[in-house]
Amino acid sequence: MSELINFARITSLALADSVNPCEIAILTMVLVTLLIQFPDKRKKVLYAGLAFSSAIYIGYLVYGIIIIEFFKIFAEWLRTNSHYVFNGLAIFAMILGALNIKDYFRYEPGGVATEMPLFMRPRVKLIIQKITSPLGAFLIGFIVTLFLLPCTMGPYIVASGLLAELGILKSIPWLMYYNLIFILPMLAITFIVYFGLSQVEDVNGWKERNIKRLHLASGLLLFLTGLALLMGWL
């Protein structure tokens, strides 16, 4: 697999994952909690936001390694059936894309594989409200990754599956690159709020107003990436 092809595959999947409304909603909850507790300590809010994003980054990096290790368990079977596995991952990406595109035309909160299930949301909110420091934000960030899995793991499984043939050592730089793209919106929101360019409520309001468009963007990227993989264009 050439580096350029890898770059195109991983970038498109990571971009699709990064515009998921899930992570934006979670981070705004974190920042709102911190601003209520520390209205005059914006640096503390900045550090906590960065710590939370870092925890998401590290947590997802670990998950990626676990997924690749899982694929390695079936290494022999994968080698003899690589064509079917590759096509299966491509079709999986297309299905995830179609589900997100569906949310643009017929949106339902807590959609399967596109948003955090509704029953999880009150629990996540309670966990986030316990954040009182940057260290707490970092530690709770790891816990929150488990709640993000239902709505963000799909594209990551596809990416990790495609990287599995490279082995762990060669896959890690690609996983690091993927996760950097994944948390970029979280970092951007953290700095926007810190520098006072926008209020957290405004960011959350923007997310709510554009939630269908976010699903559409994510869905189109996923569907087209899956189609490109299936057709051999990537």
pLDDT tens digit sequence for 221-233:
999 999 999 998 8
CA distances to 84, 127, 220 from 48, rounded to whole Å, are 44, 15, 33
pTM (two decimals): 0.91
Rounded to an integer, what distance in angstroms lies between the CA atom of residue 8 and that of residue 234?
A: 7
Name residues whose C-beta falls within 8 Å of residue 193's C-beta, 6 or more positions apart in sequence: 31, 35, 45, 49, 199, 200, 203
List phi, psi (to 5°) of 131: -70, 125
Other CB atoms within 10 Å distance of the CB of residue 88: 14
Maximal C-alpha separation, the chain: 61
pLDDT at 78: 66
C-alpha separations of 227 from 128, 149, 153, 224, 233 in Å: 38, 24, 19, 5, 8
pLDDT digits (tens, 9 = 90+) for 195-219: 877 777 788 888 889 999 999 999 9
How far from 78 is each of 85, 91, 205, CA to CA, in Å?
A: 7, 17, 45
Span 54-105, pLDDT tens digits: 999 999 999 999 999 888 887 667 667 778 888 999 999 999 999 999 999 9
- With CA atoms as reference, report the closest residue to 151 among 114, 178, 96: 114
Tell me, what's the pLDDT at 1?
Answer: 52
pLDDT of residue 83: 81
Helix-helix angle 168-194:3-18, to 10 degrees: 40
Q: Assess contact for 93 and 222: CB atoms under 8 A.
A: yes
